[in-house]
Structure 1
């Protein structure tokens, strides 16, 4: 059985006060959940706060983004080494909002994946198609292209040191959710693409689903054979909902 993982992506939400209240509400329940790793990705300014709040707990800290550069004159960027220094264990790369709003290319995402590995972080590679691409029947081609860029950059052995999150763009923050069957089809396709290069590594890599996962649909999604957990957006800002989602991952 693959490792179970649930990652909270707080996106651009939070203050010192609201973060502390949310963590206080989450920790008593999260630390009682066995069989699933939980990580929280707050906005960059709060990484140090979350690292302090989660020190000596079972909950890990992750970053929502990472620079593809190790250091230098790149104003406003944050390197993998800086993230590691702040106590991060994970870094999201290629989130659909980074791709669509900030123009990140497949090649840039691949370099960010490698930068995370080089800093000792576990990269979480986000893949996903738009509604137009899905309706045109291009889902597998889009996912394959996004995946190939990283495979070409680092190879299958290093890619397997990361995590992959399938997040259909049309289901992020829209209230729409891929059916469990639709999500499973894409997760199976991802494993098949990887299996063409290394069946053992493909079978063992952790695959997450992200896209309007809530406490009332998480169990059905996580019950699918190739779904090992979730990348959770809005529902991660509600303690009761997020705990229920984490519990569903280890059921």
Structure 2
């Protein structure tokens, strides 16, 4: 079975005191991930080192950064490089989140550059892709997501792409309370995997974890995760409540 992942994305929320309380609440539930599972918590940059010390004392739990810059180093005030994240032991980084694409105009090429730097530094990228509402309403979501994959991922070798995580996020369902149905999630994630198989072969595509992101919560997580091509979730708002996120972890295959 592919790795199953419950990933939390705190975004720009919580003071460190609130973050500590949340982490203690999640870890205090004493849910131990199975051998094929991981719990990843993406925290704001200032909290990475302190959160890592708390989280990684428990097997199967990891901290992630929410972004990195697409250049190796240089005069880029306020940015954080992949090499910096490696130096403090960060193992996962979320890139290409729809909010980064929309508000900061991140391009598929910049994301390709970020992927290269992360992989060079031995960090696992969690690569986000997904379509806005207008694209979904026009029934063009498949070609839209395929273009994101082709332009950002298809320069990678089979070995390299086997070392990433993909998170499909229907942008129209992020923070809106709307959620793709379990069937909708399975349909596009199966298509996404077929695109990977077309480039890299079925064996490689079958190994890559593909998460669903978009208003995942305790009430719907288990149903969504039960789909063959859904390997867990990238969770926003519900990850800010310990009891909700714990139930989402428990919903993994």
Shared fold per TM-score greater than 0.5: yes
Partner of residue 216, structure 2: 213
Q: Using structure 2 for the length normalisation, give the TM-score.
A: 0.95
Partner of residue 53, structure 2: 52
Conservation of the 8 A alpha-carbon contact between 2:56 and 2:63: no
Conservation of the 8 A alpha-carbon contact between 1:114 and 1:153: no
Query: Which shifted more, 31-40 or 213-222?
Result: 31-40
Matches within 5 A, 1:43-192: 43-58=44-59, 59-192=61-194
3-state DSSP class of the match of 2:6? Answer: strand
3-state DSSP class of the match of 2:251? Answer: helix
Counterparts of 1:160 and 1:142, CA distance in 2: 22
Counterparts of 2:196 and 2:67, CA distance in 1: 24
Alpha-carbon deviation of 1:49?
1.4
Alpha-carbon deviation of 1:53?
1.4
3-state DSSP class of the match of 2:219? Answer: coil
- 1:6 matched to 2:6? The reply is yes
Aligned residues: 250
Conservation of the 8 A alpha-carbon contact between 2:40 and 2:62: yes
Counterparts of 1:225 and 1:54, CA distance in 2: 29
Counterparts of 2:98 and 2:196, CA distance in 1: 21
Counterparts of 1:171 and 1:55, CA distance in 2: 31
Query: Which shifted more, 38-47 or 81-90?
Result: 81-90
Q: Which runs of 5+ in 1 are unaligned?
A: none
Which among 226, 234, 237 is matched to residue 237 of structure 2? Answer: 234
Deviations 1:86-141 (A, max 9, x none): 22111011000000111001111111111111111100110000000011111011
Counterparts of 2:32 and 2:207, CA distance in 1: 26
Counterparts of 1:192 and 1:157, CA distance in 2: 18
Conservation of the 8 A alpha-carbon contact between 1:107 and 1:149: yes
Dislocated runs of 4+, deviation >3 Å: none
Q: Using structure 1 for the length normalisation, give the TM-score.
A: 0.96
